């Protein structure tokens, strides 16, 4: 009996080992050769796709990685987002959808390597380029600099990241091939001492494997740290890539295109960006044929949910807040389905596989569903659900209020019986102006607006200004000017308005509002709530074309923003967050408070401008 038990124990161990991916059992080596990366001493070509863990439901990470394998990728690239992992100073979060270590581990289980980009600045069309809002409350702190407070906070953060991810490097038995220092720093500055400080912090955090930098072609010399591999962004001419790397790396490779853009992102009020696969398939073919490694940005964009979208702003262009859909016209669409671009790129990659190697079959398209018309008959008027205010003579910013995202309602009283222009100096970013509880107009930073003409009725008048943070700038010099709300002062008829109440409305959840089913004539923003039944859950797209502007929650998940100006007209609801049976939906509507019904459709609408 003892012998039989021993034999079965040995058999069980053997079966367990044979079911584990082989490369997960072996400690590999990864190094730089003169022309190529070397995996266990043999040339290795990174064929990578960018995919960000917070833009994909955790429940779907594995299925998206299976799609990556099916397209022919051997590596996943991802940023690490400081504002997710330290949302408030000293409070770290690596749980749930923020569990980046689990994201990396799932990649390993699926036979994928990882290129890690903790920066800590990420750009990525992400709120404040990944920086937490509270850094702006540290007086004198300057991001992306040698300023001592910034370096102190950065160090605390990167040490926490190291605890999560440094053990997952390839030289420790994991699947992280290499780690990126900073991010397109040459487009911002050229301080090599600052880059050396970054390198030292990363090593102190335990990132003791291969490190590299990445910059657009024209900025590599400024953003590259001598001795470190310089990767190139946005260029796919093999000869030009090789020359740039050679010029900055002692005349040798390996050669890595760290960001290759087969499409682009969208922002509110402009056309949806698409690029035909045919325009890029030949370029991908030439890069792979030349032996260069590549990371396509994006392979799968997903969705920038809640308040995490960023914005672009330059002196020559207006403020451009990005939409919630991060579909990006990527090979894998927002819901994780293969596109024509996916199939085209798969065909190219397949040409360059070793003899006898076959790609996995492409998983079938995920089923999508329509829903019946959903009635949202429970209503909570925003002005009837205000928290305790803070008082101040002049308006306080979001940061003054220790508020990260969402909205702030500014309230004061004015003596009526007059007309004039209401001026909001340095509004950040979108304001709904109400008089005695009724919306009378909006002010939009995108349109370079800062004023609106108002007519005050007789008597004492309540003036409410609801200000939305539409996303902190994520690229360029205006990273340093990212405070939100009414950031200076308010003038009416050229006289400063004083004595304000500030109501913080971060919309971290929607559970505290008092709803009513009474029919109301709403003339200001509302929160609407309803429920709907689903028999067979599947992906769906909530059609918001009859609504104005706002946000949607389903079963407690903040799905992101909608705005009738487009181009995004639907909001993606992933199957992973639907339930069989009853589902709860909540909508914050800012501009059309009478809207009360919505339905799910089977296809997204990402290309309609109104």
Give the catalytic positions in this structure.
184, 259
Q: Identify the residue whose tokens are 């079966």.
A: 15
Beta bridge partner(s), residue 48 = 75, 295
Question: How far from 241 is each of 38, 237, 291, 437, CA to CA, in Å?
Answer: 19, 6, 12, 59
Report how far residue 491's alpha carbon sits from residue 308's, in angstroms, rounded to the nearest whole number.
Answer: 31
Residue 62: Cβ-neighbour burial (10 angstroms; 0-12, 13-18, 19+): middle
Tokens at residue 418, please? 């007059």
Q: How many helices (H) and strands (E) does the chain have?
A: 11, 34
Chain centroid offset of residue 313 CA: 17
Report how far residue 24's alpha carbon sits from residue 28's, in angstroms, rounded to the nearest whole number.
Answer: 9
- Among candidates 68, 111, 63, which has minimal Cα distance to 298? 68
- Among candidates 192, 393, 214, 198, which has minimal Cα distance to 295? 214
For CA atoms 479, 485, 491, 497, the dihedral sign is negative
DSSP code of residue 564: T
Question: How far from 471 is each of 129, 459, 489, 544, 560, CA to CA, in Å?
Answer: 10, 37, 21, 21, 12
Tokens at residue 98, please? 């923020």
């Amino acid at each position: 009996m003892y012998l039989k038990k021993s034999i079965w124990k040995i058999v069980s161990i053997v079966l367990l080992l044979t079911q584990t991916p082989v490369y997960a059992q072996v400690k590999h080596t990864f190094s730089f050769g003169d022309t190529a990366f070397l995996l266990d001493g043999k040339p290795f070509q990174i064929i990578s796709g960018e995919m960000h863990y917070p833009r994909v439901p955790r429940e779907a990470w594995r299925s998206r990685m299976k799609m990556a394998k099916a397209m022919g990728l051997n590596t996943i690239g991802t940023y690490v987002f400081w504002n997710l992992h330290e949302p408030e100073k000293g409070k770290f979060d690596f749980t749930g959808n923020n569990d980046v270590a689990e994201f990396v581990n799932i990649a390993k289980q699926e036979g994928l390597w990882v290129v890690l980009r903790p920066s800590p600045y990420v750009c990525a069309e992400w709120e404040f380029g990944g920086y937490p809002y509270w850094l702006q409350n540290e007086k004198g702190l300057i991001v992306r600099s040698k300023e001592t407070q910034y370096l102190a906070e950065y160090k605390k953060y990167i040490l926490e990241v190291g605890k999560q991810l440094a053990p997952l490097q390839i030289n420790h038995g994991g699947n992280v091939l290499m780690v990126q220092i900073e991010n397109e720093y040459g487009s911002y500055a050229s301080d090599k001492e600052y880059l050396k400080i970054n390198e030292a912090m990363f090593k102190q955090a335990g990132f003791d494997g291969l490190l590299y930098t990445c910059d657009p072609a024209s900025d590599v010399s400024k953003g590259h740290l001598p001795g470190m591999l310089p990767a190139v962004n946005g260029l796919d001419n093999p000869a030009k890539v090789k020359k740039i790397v050679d010029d900055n790396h002692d005349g040798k490779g390996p050669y890595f295109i760290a960001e290759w853009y087969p499409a682009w992102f969208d922002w509110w009020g402009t056309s949806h960006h698409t690029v035909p696969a045919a325009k890029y398939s030949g370029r991908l073919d030439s890069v792979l044929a030349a032996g260069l490694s590549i990371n396509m940005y994006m392979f799968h964009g997903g969705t920038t949910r809640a308040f995490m979208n960023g914005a672009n702003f330059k002196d020559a262009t207006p403020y451009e807040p990005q939409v919630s859909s991060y579909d990006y016209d990527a090979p894998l669409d927002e819901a994780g389905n293969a596109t024509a671009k996916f199939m085209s790129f798969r065909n190219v990659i397949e040409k360059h596989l070793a003899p006898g190697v076959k790609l996995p079959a492409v998983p079938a398209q995920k089923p999508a569903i329509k829903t019946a018309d959903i009635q949202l008959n429970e209503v909570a008027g925003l002005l009837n659900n205000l928290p305790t205010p803070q008082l101040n003579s002049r308006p306080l910013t979001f940061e003054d209020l220790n508020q990260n995202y969402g909205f702030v309602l500014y309230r004061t009283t004015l003596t009526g019986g007059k007309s004039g222009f209401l001026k909001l100096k340095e509004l950040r970013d979108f304001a709904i102006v109400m008089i005695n509880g009724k919306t009378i107009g909006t002010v939009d930073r995108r349109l370079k607006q800062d004023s609106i003409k108002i007519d005050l009725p007789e008597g004492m008048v309540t003036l409410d200004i609801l200000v939305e943070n539409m996303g902190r700038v994520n690229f360029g010099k205006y990273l340093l000017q990212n405070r939100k709300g009414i950031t200076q002062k308010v003038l009416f008829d050229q006289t400063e308005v004083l004595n304000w109440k500030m109501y913080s409305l971060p919309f971290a959840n929607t559970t505290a509002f008092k709803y009513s089913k009474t029919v109301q004539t709403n003339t200001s923003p509302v929160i609407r709530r309803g429920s709907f039944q689903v028999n067979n859950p599947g992906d769906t797209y909530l059609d918001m074309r009859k609504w104005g502007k706002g946000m949607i929650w389903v079963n407690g998940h903040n799905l992101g923003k909608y705005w009738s100006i487009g181009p995004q007209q639907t909001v993606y609801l992933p199957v992973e967050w639907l339930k069989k049976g009853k589902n709860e939906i909540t909508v914050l509507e800012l501009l059309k408070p009478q809207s009360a019904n919505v339905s799910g459709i089977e296809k997204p609408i990402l290309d309609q401008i109104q």
